Amino acid sequence: MANGNTNTERVATGISGLDLMLTGGIPATNQVLVAGGPGAGKTMLCFEVLYHNAKQGIPSLFVTLEEDPQDVLKNVKSAFTDFTDIDELVEKKALKVTSSFVPVGSIGSDQLELISAFQKIVSSIEGSINEMHAKCVAIDSLSLLKLVSTEGDALTYRRALLGLMASLRKLNVTALLTIEMKSLERKDIEFSQEFFIFDGILVMYQSESQEKRTLNLEVVKMRRTGHSLSFAPYEITSKGFRVFTVEQDSY
């Protein structure tokens, strides 16, 4: 495995197999894309990373752009039954699940209206980060921003993404941003040019062998650290993600 840079300040994901793949965690302030097909576990993975960080006293914010925050909490609590202190962390304001407060359904297709809607979403996210001094942030998902920043207009989308990333960078947060791919199969997952503006890319996909289907996780890129070049099977359990990596604990 490539060497980790031991001098880099890191945000551990708290998922031991994934931290091994990242030689200790995500370099602090990196902006990481979490890409995968429908139901791969993107929302769950981001939530779990924030949960572990909140437990360490690092204020962590989950911004859902697609679901009701209460539904997200209900779902993660029913999946991760061993995480019995979620409500306590929310009460202590170490962990927050919020939406962006922009009614996306009401946005028209006019270019100026779209840009203004997008700016409102970004300011709303900035406001939530500032309010709790969040250090670790998940945005679930960017698929919606793509819709908001005009369908099929790659340049507007790229500009919108850059605007969001500049704002997150200014706030010095470590960020996970999910994006839904059309397929669960690795061979169908391609990263268009716009995705390489991120500091890191994690991809979650499904493999099929003769008897069973396995879910796999891969670190496609991660700036400022060495990382695993292998893919690792994973499971979602009541105790959180289990990532079966080939890496040994060497950092």
Ligand X SMILES: Nc1ncnc2c1ncn2[C@@H]1O[C@H](COP(=O)(O)OP(=O)(O)OP(=O)(O)O)[C@@H](O)[C@H]1O
- Judged by beta carbon distances under 5 to 8 A according to partner kind, the member of Mg ion, ligand X, none in contact with residue 23 is none
Helices H / strands E in the chain, number of each: 7, 11
Quick one: how far is CA 116 from the chain centroid? 24
Q: Closer to Mg ion at the Cβ: 62 or 198?
A: 62
Residue showing the smallest CB distance to Mg ion in the complex: 43
Q: Name the residue with tokens 């391609």.
A: 190
Q: Closer to ligand X at the Cβ: 74 or 133?
A: 74
Window 150-189: residues binding ligand X (CB under 6 A): 180
* 222 touches 18 (CB < 8 A): no
Size of the site for ligand X (CB under 6 A): 13
Query: Min. distance of Cβ 247 from Mg ion in angstroms?
Result: 27
Structure tokens that stand for 202 in this block: 């994690």
Under the criterion CB under 5 A, does residue 99 sit at the interface with Mg ion? Answer: no
* 129 touches 137 (CB < 8 A): yes
In whole angstroms, give the CA distance from residue 165 to residue 121: 13
Query: Min. distance of Cβ 133 from ligand X in angstroms?
Result: 26
Under the criterion CB under 6 A, does residue 236 sit at the interface with ligand X? Answer: yes
Using CB under 6 A, pick the residue from 23, 31, 43, 100 that binds ligand X.
43
Under the criterion CB under 5 A, does residue 64 sit at the interface with Mg ion? Answer: no
Using CB under 5 A, pick the residue from 30, 31, 43, 53 that binds Mg ion.
43
HSE, side-chain direction, 13 A CA sphere, residue 140: 24
In whole angstroms, give the CA distance from residue 62 to residue 78: 17
Query: Min. distance of Cβ 235 from ligand X in angstroms?
Result: 9
Judged by CB under 6 A, the stretch of 74-82, 104-112, 154-162, 205-213 that binds ligand X is: 74-82
Identity of the amino acid at 158: R
Lay out the site mask for Mg ion across 180-219 (x = CB under 5 A, - = otherwise).
----------------------------------------
Task: Give strand pairing partners of 202.
Answer: 34, 219
Under the criterion CB under 6 A, does residue 39 sit at the interface with ligand X? Answer: yes
Q: In a 3-state reduction of DSSP, which class is residue 207?
A: strand
Query: Min. distance of Cβ 48 from Mg ion in angstroms?
Result: 13
Q: Closer to Mg ion at the Cβ: 115 or 144?
A: 144
Longest dimension (CA), the chain: 53
Q: Give the closest residue to 140 by CA, choosing from 86, 77, 61, 23.
A: 61
- Judged by beta carbon distances under 5 to 8 A according to partner kind, the member of ligand X, Mg ion, none in contact with residue 132 is none
Structure tokens that stand for 231 in this block: 């893919």
Name the residues that contact ligand X, by CB under 6 A: 36, 38-44, 75, 78-79, 180, 236
Residues of this chain that bind Mg ion (CB under 5 A): 43
